[in-house]
Structure 1
Amino acid sequence: MTDIDPEAYSDVWVFIEEHDGEVMTVSWELLAEAATLAEKTGEDLVALVIGEDVDDVAEEAIARGADRVLVADDAVFEPYRADPYGEQFRAMVEARKPSIVLIGGTHTGRDFAGRVAVPAHAGLTADCTEIDVDDEGVLQARRPAFGGNVLATIICEEHRPQMATIRPGVFESAPPEGDREGTVEYVDVVVEESDTLTEVLERSVGDTADITEADRLVAAGGGIDGDIEPVRRLADALDAELAASRKAVDEGWVEGSRQVGQTGKTVRPELYVAVGISGAVQHLEGMNDSDVVVAINNDPNAPIFDHADYGIVGDLFEVCPDLAERLDATDAAEVTR
Structure 2
Amino acid sequence: MAKNYVRENVPLSRFGVLVAQLESIVASASHKLPDPLLCFDLLSDLISSIDEEPKESILLWQRKCEDALFSLLVLGARRPVRHLASTAMGKIIYKGDNISIYSRVSSLQGFISDGKKSEPLRIAGAAQCLGELYRLFGKKITSGLLATTSNVTKLMKFSEDFVRREALQMLRNALEGSGGNGSFPAYAEAFKIIMRLGVGDKSFIVRKAAARCLKAFANIGGPGLGAGELDNSASHCVKVLEDRESSVRDAFAEALGALLALGLNPQAQVQPKGKNQSNPKKLEGSLQKHLISPFNKGKIILWIRQVPERIHLWK
User: Relative to total residues, which structure has the larger helix share, 1 or 2?
Assistant: 2
Q: TM above 0.5, one fold? A: no
- TM-score under structure 2 length normalisation: 0.29
- TM-score under structure 1 length normalisation: 0.28
Using CA pairs below 8 Å that are at least 6 residues apart, which structure has the higher relative contact order?
Answer: 1
User: Relative to total residues, which structure has the larger strand share, 1 or 2?
Assistant: 1
